[in-house]
Structure 1
């Protein structure tokens, strides 16, 4: 439960219709299995103690007493379990029959939640038997104890404020005004749905979309437990389709026509962060709600949910292809609008023969095609200096030739040396001045050419470089429109690969060679083919920094949680000490380099993370990193 992770499960036991004692035994067995696997919240199907398909037997006193006795047995036999158990049963109260969810913990009945919406169409006839919830909380007397009974109950862990859940039952979710809306507005971060949804062709897809969509709409975790084997098949078939979703993503799903548990971990602290961030999510509205406490010791939850090392990259090839195409269209559409608005006569960009400038060129070419102008509208400039390798220079020429873009080569070595003489810089002193003078000279050339030709300078720097401050202030840091500014380095590679496959031919070959070239600023002399500066040896692996950026900035995770997730995601590639080292470097650089991000040029937003000072990220340039780094110092 530490770091906000709650291990949860949705389960389907094999039951018998109307055999309540047998069903209680199956429920207890599943609860014990869940507890052994450190599940802290287990949701079971609707009317699981009796079976959903009892029809008019629900009116029989014998069945109702049997269901209550089964509940007592479950309470007795789960007294030693830490798992909070949510299960369904028929219950008579005030002379009426209710379809209820019982919430149990350590042998205590915490509360009873009656179903609000009763389906009475198609194959469903619940209104013939049951009474819908009145909408008000009352109490129910069981064995001399008053138990909360009503639709507005929230169950809250005393040791962890964000572990708070509400309950709805089957059709409640399918209605136009689900009770879960009120539960989440009142503070629930998880919803348990006890269901008996029969199986028909195509229904599983609809059910999955409904559960995932509701978890996204309410920014919550959603546990959906479905009736299955043992229900009567007189007219219907139940498949036990269990789902666990979090904020729109299905974390785990059972195979249909199986029994047992489906388990995952819901990150309630992530959900709480997202609700704080979303100004349209209402402040807590819990009037009429009763918060029922329960106690659980805090343990570290072993994670089974997948943690991708590449959070910006879809794992599905079809989704990755679609994302790449969308991003390239967004970049080129943004550039088109800027060029048309300013009446620019050309787009000017520096081409190094590396990844970022290749992507910027591809975007500019798309923009020219989109506007219906010749590709000569794009004016590429390569500016070799001390560290330029033959490989990157050749690739710059070959790429422009294959794309039909004019390339101008302007060596800047002598201009930089004259500048060194002006300021008294020793050329043998390979310091930051030596490196940055080259970057600023290149920017000056581009800016002046753009003025000369009535064009705009297109920026090439990416999101990862902005996060780390890996840019020369008023050098490559500056442009007139920065098309790559919200694209992380790990995604840049896939975008270039996407275009290489789409374009093919000689351009595709050159792009593939650029993809194989080590990332380097090429500011130190290497000689010939050699590249002596490798960026990732200096600032750390970009795949790690992109991971840190996603979880530390997009989700606001604490450093210790970012480290934990990174160690899981990269366990086969990097030792913990390496990840910790670069995580410290990430926080140090991110805080120290905010001043560069505070004056960025305009750029199109293409994903959920951007560092534009006019949009998603506003931060004082002199904020201290001490709190964040102190979490990592003793780890």
Structure 2
């Protein structure tokens, strides 16, 4: 439960229709198994004690009496287990029968919730047996001489961890236009459990999955759907046990069709709480009674996987689709800016590196959209003290392959003159030595743009902005920054996508650029002419920094939580000490370099994480990093 991770389960037991003792045995067995696997909350299907397909047997006192008796046995036999269980059972109240979920915890029935929407169409005839609950339904039900349960519209909260709050709806409740989960979420429930008995027909599984993902996304919750399976009557229907656990629009776990047992997932309630705080449009209006349960606060052993590159889809088909979409969004942004100001010329510095390559790709697409000749894209290569033959040749070849206009302006003489003007010794390779080159390049680009009646297209990416790895008023500045919300790990895949759909010389040069080490090339090369200044040797691996940035900015994770999940994600790549070193670097640089982000040029937002001071991120330039760094210092 540390860091907000809670292990939950949807459980599909083997059942026999109307055999409550057999079904209770199956339920107890699965609760015990779930507990042994660290599950804190387990949800069973609708009417799991009796079976959903009892039909008119629900009107028999013998079945209802046996269901209550076996429910009590479940409560007694699981009382020593540190788990909450949601059990489906029919309960009679004041001459009416209700389809209920009873919530069991440590030897008590802490509450019951009744189904509100009773289907009576197609294959469903529940109105024949059950009454629909309304919000005013409130009753105490005596299960036997020792046990009772309170039936009311309720949300359930953990005493030891108040952020852990869940609500319950039953099957059809999810499928209606105004589901109870809307009210439950507004009352604070971050997890919605659905006890269901959804028969299977062709195409229903896809629709069900889509609906659950949408519910979890629109309510910023985890939605856990426990479905009836094999053992239900197949007289007229077949049940597949299609369990799904979705968190904020993404499926965490899903059972195989026509299977039984546990479907387990580690959900993160802190992600959900953060998402709700971030969205001020999220409706919060507590209107449900609260019941409390208890759990031991233990560290969840995580089975949840964390992708190394959260900005990059792991599925190749999804990645290609994402790349195409992003390139289009970037190009539309630049196209719209050019059209708005009536400009037919774009100027960009072409270094032979990844970022400037992506900026050129975007410019080419934008010009093609506008029907403009690509010769209006003026690429300028500006070799200086650190330029290698490899990057210089790639820059020239790339411009030629795209039919852009290429101009070479060697800046060695102008930078040397600048050194003389300010009293900088040329053999002192300090920050002044490096930044003088970056600022000279920017001055050349700006002046050429004025000369040509064009705009300077910026090449810097999101990862560089996060780390402040840009020369203030150097490569930090442009007239439209097309890569400003593209992290470095994604830049590489966008260029790779362009290479895959290209051929000939263009494909060849793009492939070589992808193989070139990331470098600003501001220091002289090695004696053999290779790059001496490799960015990731200085600031750390971009895959780590992009991982840190994503979870800090997208979900507001604490440093200790980011460190924990980074150690899991990169367990086979980096040591914990290595990760800690660069996580400290990330926080120090992120806070000290905000001043560069406070005056960024315009650029299109294409993802959920950006650092534009006019968009997603507003931060004072003199904010202290002490809280974040101290938390890292206190990690064992």
TM-score class normalised by the smaller sequence: over 0.9
Match of 2:241 in 1: 240
Counterpart Cα distance in 2 of 1:20 and 1:327: 55
Match of 1:634 in 2: 634
Residues 1:400 and 2:402 aligned together = no
Match of 2:508 in 1: 509
Counterpart Cα distance in 1 of 2:431 and 2:137: 69
Conservation of the 8 A alpha-carbon contact between 2:229 and 2:260: yes
1:358, CA displacement in angstroms? 0.4
Counterpart Cα distance in 2 of 1:137 and 1:315: 48
Conservation of the 8 A alpha-carbon contact between 2:347 and 2:454: yes
Partner SS state of residue 347, structure 2: strand
Counterpart Cα distance in 1 of 2:37 and 2:260: 17
1:344, CA displacement in angstroms? 1.9
**Deviation readout 1:39-63 (Å, 9 max, x if unpaired):** 0010000000000000000000000
Match of 1:96 in 2: 96
**Deviation readout 1:550-587 (Å, 9 max, x if unpaired):** 00111100000001111111111001110111001000
Match of 1:198 in 2: 199
TM-score (normalizing by structure 1)? 0.99
1:144, CA displacement in angstroms? 5.7
Match of 1:276 in 2: 277
Partner SS state of residue 501, structure 2: helix
Counterpart Cα distance in 2 of 1:282 and 1:119: 28
Partner SS state of residue 503, structure 1: coil
**Deviation readout 1:467-490 (Å, 9 max, x if unpaired):** 000000000000000000000000
Residues 1:267 and 2:263 aligned together = no
Conservation of the 8 A alpha-carbon contact between 1:356 and 1:460: yes
Counterpart Cα distance in 1 of 2:417 and 2:528: 24
Match of 1:424 in 2: 423
**Deviation readout 1:503-529 (Å, 9 max, x if unpaired):** 221111100000000000100001553
Conservation of the 8 A alpha-carbon contact between 2:594 and 2:619: yes
Match of 1:368 in 2: 367
Match of 1:11 in 2: 11
Counterpart Cα distance in 2 of 1:137 and 1:569: 48
Conservation of the 8 A alpha-carbon contact between 1:13 and 1:228: yes
Match of 1:460 in 2: 459
Conservation of the 8 A alpha-carbon contact between 1:345 and 1:453: no
Match of 2:348 in 1: 349
Counterpart Cα distance in 2 of 1:337 and 1:37: 55
Conservation of the 8 A alpha-carbon contact between 2:344 and 2:372: no
Match of 1:50 in 2: 50
Match of 1:385 in 2: 384
Question: Are residues 137 and 130 of structure 1, via their aligned partners in 2, closer, same or farther at CA, if it must alter by over 3 Å?
Answer: closer
**Deviation readout 1:354-389 (Å, 9 max, x if unpaired):** 000000011111111111111001000000000000
Match of 1:586 in 2: 586
Match of 1:40 in 2: 40
Residues 1:446 and 2:445 aligned together = yes
Partner SS state of residue 386, structure 1: coil
1:87, CA displacement in angstroms? 1.0
Counterpart Cα distance in 1 of 2:253 and 2:146: 40
1:95, CA displacement in angstroms? 1.0
Question: Are residues 206 and 345 of structure 1, via their aligned partners in 2, closer, same or farther at CA, if it must alter by over 3 Å?
Answer: closer
For this pair of structures, how many residues does the alignment match?
A: 632
Counterpart Cα distance in 2 of 1:132 and 1:282: 26
1:205-604 alignment, distance < 5 Å: 205-283=206-284, 285-287=285-287, 289-526=288-525, 527=527, 529-604=529-604
**Deviation readout 1:142-191 (Å, 9 max, x if unpaired):** 236653212x2011001112110000000000011110000000000001
Give structure 2 stretches of 5+ with no counterpart: none
Match of 2:108 in 1: 108
Counterpart Cα distance in 1 of 2:76 and 2:516: 66
Conservation of the 8 A alpha-carbon contact between 1:239 and 1:258: yes
Counterpart Cα distance in 2 of 1:178 and 1:18: 29
Conservation of the 8 A alpha-carbon contact between 1:459 and 1:482: yes
Residues 1:140 and 2:129 aligned together = no
Partner SS state of residue 399, structure 1: helix
Match of 1:619 in 2: 619
1:261, CA displacement in angstroms? 0.1
Superposition RMSD in Å: 0.9
Partner SS state of residue 506, structure 1: helix
Conservation of the 8 A alpha-carbon contact between 1:390 and 1:528: no
1:345, CA displacement in angstroms? 3.5
Partner SS state of residue 267, structure 2: strand
Partner SS state of residue 309, structure 1: coil
Counterpart Cα distance in 2 of 1:512 and 1:160: 51
Counterpart Cα distance in 2 of 1:336 and 1:199: 49
Match of 1:183 in 2: 184
Counterpart Cα distance in 1 of 2:206 and 2:341: 48
Counterpart Cα distance in 2 of 1:530 and 1:266: 47
Residues 1:85 and 2:112 aligned together = no
**Deviation readout 1:251-282 (Å, 9 max, x if unpaired):** 00000111100101110000000000001102
Conservation of the 8 A alpha-carbon contact between 2:265 and 2:303: yes
Conservation of the 8 A alpha-carbon contact between 2:93 and 2:139: no
1:460, CA displacement in angstroms? 0.2
Counterpart Cα distance in 2 of 1:134 and 1:212: 26
1:325, CA displacement in angstroms? 0.5
Question: Are residues 528 and 454 of structure 1, via their aligned partners in 2, closer, same or farther at CA, if it must alter by over 3 Å?
Answer: farther
Deviates more, 1:264-273 or 1:133-142: 133-142
1:31, CA displacement in angstroms? 0.1
Question: Are residues 528 and 450 of structure 1, via their aligned partners in 2, closer, same or farther at CA, if it must alter by over 3 Å?
Answer: farther
Conservation of the 8 A alpha-carbon contact between 1:352 and 1:392: yes
Match of 1:149 in 2: 151
Conservation of the 8 A alpha-carbon contact between 1:389 and 1:528: no
Partner SS state of residue 7, structure 2: strand
Counterpart Cα distance in 1 of 2:362 and 2:206: 37
Partner SS state of residue 89, structure 1: strand
Deviates more, 1:522-531 or 1:475-484: 522-531
TM-score (normalizing by structure 2)? 0.98
Counterpart Cα distance in 2 of 1:92 and 1:401: 80
